[in-house]
Structure 1
Amino acid sequence: MQVLTMLLPVFLVLALMSSKLFNSLRTMEVQMGMGVVLLRCESPSLFWFVIAFQCLVIGALLAIFYWPFIILPNQVMS
C-alpha cells in the first residue's frame, strides 16, 4: 500500500508528460512555458531534441514503475 501512495505523484507526472508529448506531436509545436512556443518549421533539430527529451523523461518514469512492481517482487528473499 505504501508503494502505491509513493508512486501516485510519479503516475500524475507520467500522465502530464504523456499528454504534453501527445499534444506536441499533434500540433507540431512545443509549449515551452512563459509564452515560448517552439515550432517545427522554425527549428527542426531543436524541436526533435525537445521531443526526444520528453520521451526520455517518460521512459525514466516508466522505469520507476517497473522497479517496484516487476524487479523487486522477483528478488529472492534472504
Structure 2
Amino acid sequence: MTKKSGLSYKARRRWSMVVLLVGLPLYIIVATTLGGLFAGQSVLLQLVVYVVLGIVWILPFKSLFRGIGQADPDAPPED
C-alpha cells in the first residue's frame, strides 16, 4: 500500500522542478560554505561532512520526488 501525497501528480512534478532548479543550487552554496568551515581539518572529516550534507538535502523532499519518473496515475488509460 502506497502513501498518497496531498499534492496531485502534476503539482508534485512542478514542485520537484522548482526544488531541483532553485532550491538545490542554493543548498549547494550553503553546503559548500559549511564544508569550507572544515577546510583546515582532516580529509576524512571533510568527506564525512560532504557525504552527510549530500544526503540530508533530500530527506524533507522524499515524498515529493517519490514516483515522479513514472507515468501519471491520474491520467486516463491509453487505448
Return the structure number with greater strand share: 1
What's the TM-score bracket when you normalise by the shorter of the two chains? 0.3 to 0.5
TM-score where L is the length of structure 1:
0.44
Between the two structures, name the one with larger relative contact order (CA 8 Å, sep ≥ 6).
2
Return the structure number with greater helix share: 1
TM-score where L is the length of structure 2:
0.44
